[in-house]
Structure 1
Amino acid sequence: MFLHLGGGNMIPSDQVVLIGDLENTTYSEITQEFMQISDEEGFIVDYSAGNPRSFVLTGETIYLSMISSKTLADRVDKFTEENGGY
């Protein structure tokens, strides 16, 4: 199954490690540094059309999305429930 991140962009849902709210998680200095280094190294893919609200961390990439972290998490949860859990 795939997780729709907005703008017609999808990733395999089994690759999702973490879904985070950008506003509530990036205020710490260490997280800001992590995101800055990730961006400089080319690990961030922006699917937010310039309006990021959340991020999805996979083993290799951080995806920015315009969709709220709650909505993304609900989508993953719905898929998990429909398919009998993890």
Structure 2
Amino acid sequence: MYIHIGEDLNIRAKDIISILDKESANHSPLIDEFLSHHKERLINLSKNPFKSVIITYDKIYLSPIASGTLKKRSNQTNIHEFI
């Protein structure tokens, strides 16, 4: 299943390691250090301040979509997956 994460980009749900909300990302020195260390993998999809951080095996996305919305999208089942 694919999840729309912003700016016409869909990624496979099984490739997502973590989805973090903006507050966690902004107030944690560990996450700040992680993002600084992996700047070459960072892709900003948000024209405004980002609402969530999506960590995959290959890339890290700053998304304009809230983490709660992304979680709901990841829990939806698609009938086409079973055909």
TM-score bracket, shorter-length normalisation: 0.7 to 0.9
Provide TM-score, normalisation by structure 1. 0.81
Q: Bigger shift: 67-76 or 25-34?
A: 25-34
Q: Bigger shift: 13-22 or 25-34?
A: 25-34
For 1:14 and 1:79, how far apart are their aligned partners in 2? Answer: 13
After TM superposition, the runs of 4+ consecutive aligned structure 1 residues lying more than 2 A away are none
For 1:36 and 1:63, how far apart are their aligned partners in 2? Answer: 13
Gaps of 5+ in 1: none
Provide TM-score, normalisation by structure 2. 0.83
Matching of residues 9-24 of structure 1 within 5 Å: 9-24=9-24
Please tell me the root mean square deviation across aligned C-alpha atoms, in Å: 1.9
Query: Which of the residues 47, 51, 67 maps onto 2:65?
Result: 67
Gaps of 5+ in 2: none
Secondary structure, aligned partner of 1:74: helix
Which residue of 2 is the match for residue 25 of structure 1? 25
Identity %: 27
Which residue of 1 is the match for residue 4 of structure 2? 4
Aligned residues: 81
State the 1:29 CA deviation.
1.5
